[in-house]
Structure 1
Amino acid sequence: MHRAPADVVGWLLDSDPAIRWQVLRDLRDASADEVQEARAQVAREGWGAAILGARRDDGSWDSGAHWPDWANEEIVRAEGQPWTSTAPTLTELRLLGADPSDPVVAEAVARATAAVRWEYAGEEFFAGKVEPCINAATVATGVYFGHDVSGIVARLLTEQMADGGWNCEQENGSVRGSFDTTIAVVEALLAYERAGRAGTLPPPGGEAPDLDVVAERRHGGEEYLLARRLFRRLSTREVADPDYLLPTFPPRWQHDILRGLEHFRNRGGTPDIRLADAIEELAAQRLPDGRWPLARVIRGRAWIPGEGPAGTPSRWITLGALRVARWWNEAP
């Protein structure tokens, strides 16, 4: 699984700048200047430019922070949840790797987040809202684009459940963590912790969470995922949800094995043997030509068409699978 055939790498490079710069960094070990030159094009060509060009006059995207005004239940049933409002759009820009230091990108993020309030209680964007899954995405966005999210992190630390996970349904009585919420929170806590230790977090609006505590809680969430092999029930070892075996991009709020493996690759270090089941499941999905398919498509309106239909070769999934495989085989 770890081999990246030249024709597959060439296919990846012959694509959107958002994919190309990550291939250069993660599979080609290109120079920093070459990577940066390619990354700079994300805001000016292809998907990144399309997203930036879709802003409303006030700088926000599609009438809201998270839930567009037009998204009534009938539309959601017919088309799926929309992904065109400000919060999921900023997540897409982060996943594409739009350079936060690019003045075009920085100005767009600043205007957008100043223009919107959360629909539920009117909070400012980087004050967060009530659900840990949305708050986790907001932390990841805030850290990436250099905004203060210390208050949201402090709240997430208080919401960890007894099993080590997090669950957006906790407010409705759930007493167990969920894969979907937990993966989002551990991604966010890792980003916050790294930025804090590197000294790149903006000054907190209140008391900043202790980074050692952040790391401890993150480890608890990672243990939740590892104990379940990224996709199994702890009690029966059966597959918890068949969708967890089906990598997609963008992942939205959903968990899958590639998203989980990418988190542990990003964390670095020696791979945990409990990830082997997920590695085997991912390897089994490789097509005979060395590429990986988009296993499922999450429904809903989006600014960019992305890839698909399900079952066809996907550059995003192939990129993610190849860099996970490289880490798995080359880590000490």
Structure 2
Amino acid sequence: MVTTASTTWLLDSDPALRWQVERDLLGEPPEVWGATRVRVATEGFGARLLALQDPDGQWAGGAFFPTGFDFNGPEAAEGAGQPWTATTWALNALREWGVDAEVLRGRRTVELLAENSRWEYDDLPYWGGEVDCCINAWTVANGVWLGADVTGVVDWFVEHRLSDGGWNCEWVEGSTRSSFHSTLNSLKGLLAHEVATGGTDATRAARRAGEEYLLRRGLFLRLSTGEPVAPWVDRFAYPFRWFYSVLNAADHFREAALLDGTPPDPRMADAIGLVRAARQPDGTWLQARRHPGRVWFEVDVPAGEPSKWLTLSGTRVLDWWDSRS
């Protein structure tokens, strides 16, 4: 599916993206994409973000929000977005971009965060997680990447899965119905744990139950009416952040199927159709929007322009679906 022109365009990119193009789209051997991946820590986006780490191990002085964030101020107003500069968001980006965990271990990041970083919710210790499913999922993914002990947070997901199979970050307010956003992010954390450790019977069962929650709904439909759950299901934007879309979900199911050694589930067909429909005649995907909120620096194009990140995700999802389904 990747043409010579689009390959040239995709390869002319930051090392954080280029190594994934080499591995996932071009099938280059590990010595090729691995050499590019090493550069992420010393060039481009990865190097810039690493340089912004605080001496205490954090970014922007906070766990999920920057220090001094005014929860009653204009940045917290509806529609204003949220800041994407604090520690969790920085670790998410560095992990997703492929920075070698040894770089952060060499900075004693795990130990410094254990000593200095507390969640804004109830001042809880960083590697112990808190009550939000999405935050806990990122804590698990970042913890297993860096070698922190996040066993308690992993067990939390087994204990807090809802009766319909998924999760909802608003369970603490009494919600008993799962959320597409919360369920996908929870699944990503459990998958990262399983890739790193093999998981347990309980965590593997929880992942499969959460995936079944999404698959029964075709990744974007209400179970009750068969209608799309919301207009955001096919609005693709990078970085994904915590936001759900069928592209974000399909890329998770691609990774999970590669780990499990299973073919794509046919119940994803309509969702894959939405991904395919968004592909432009030149083989690219357009950025739908930039999620509002403070950032250290932009890593993708403005809304309406062809996105290399989304083109990477969309192309590898369709390649996987078309070759294995």
Q: Is residue 287 from structure 1 mapped to residue 280 from structure 2 by the alignment?
A: yes
In 2, distance between residues paired with 1:66 and 1:170? 19
Partner of 1:144: 145
Equivalent residues of 1:118, 1:129 under 8 A apart = yes
Count matched residues: 317
Give the % identical residues: 42
Gaps of 5+ in 1: 198-209
Structure 2 counterpart of 1:310, one-letter code: A
TM-superposed CA distance for 1:79, in Å, is 4.3
Equivalent residues of 1:59, 1:112 under 8 A apart = yes
Partner of 2:311: 318
Whose RCO is larger (CA < 8 A, sep 6+)?
1
Partner of 2:166: 165
Q: Is residue 99 from structure 1 mapped to residue 104 from structure 2 by the alignment?
A: no
TM-superposed CA distance for 1:104, in Å, is 5.2
Relative to 1, partners in 2 of residues 1:227 and 1:62: Cα closer, same or farther, differing over 3 Å? same
Equivalent residues of 1:161, 1:177 under 8 A apart = yes
- Normalising by structure 2, we get a TM-score of 0.93
Partner of 1:267: 256
TM-superposed CA distance for 1:256, in Å, is 0.8
In 1, distance between residues paired with 2:92 and 2:162? 25
Equivalent residues of 2:286, 2:306 under 8 A apart = yes
In 2, distance between residues paired with 1:173 and 1:82? 26
Q: How big is each residue's C-alpha offset from its partner over 1:54-91, in whole Å with a ceiling of 9 and x where there is no partner?
A: 12232311121012233323123374200101011111
Equivalent residues of 1:90, 1:109 under 8 A apart = no
What is the CA RMSD across the aligned residues, in angstroms?
1.6
1:229-308 to structure 2, matched below 5 A, reads: 229-268=218-257, 269-308=262-301
Gaps of 5+ in 2: none
Q: Is residue 41 from structure 1 mapped to residue 42 from structure 2 by the alignment?
A: no
Report the secondary structure of 2:285's partner residue. coil
TM-superposed CA distance for 1:174, in Å, is 0.8
Structure 2 counterpart of 1:258, one-letter code: L
1:10-89 to structure 2, matched below 5 A, reads: 10-72=8-70, 73-77=73-77, 79-89=80-90
In 2, distance between residues paired with 1:80 and 1:127? 26
Relative to 1, partners in 2 of residues 1:303 and 1:247: Cα closer, same or farther, differing over 3 Å? same
Structure 2 counterpart of 1:157, one-letter code: V
In 2, distance between residues paired with 1:173 and 1:324? 36
Structure 2 counterpart of 1:251, one-letter code: F
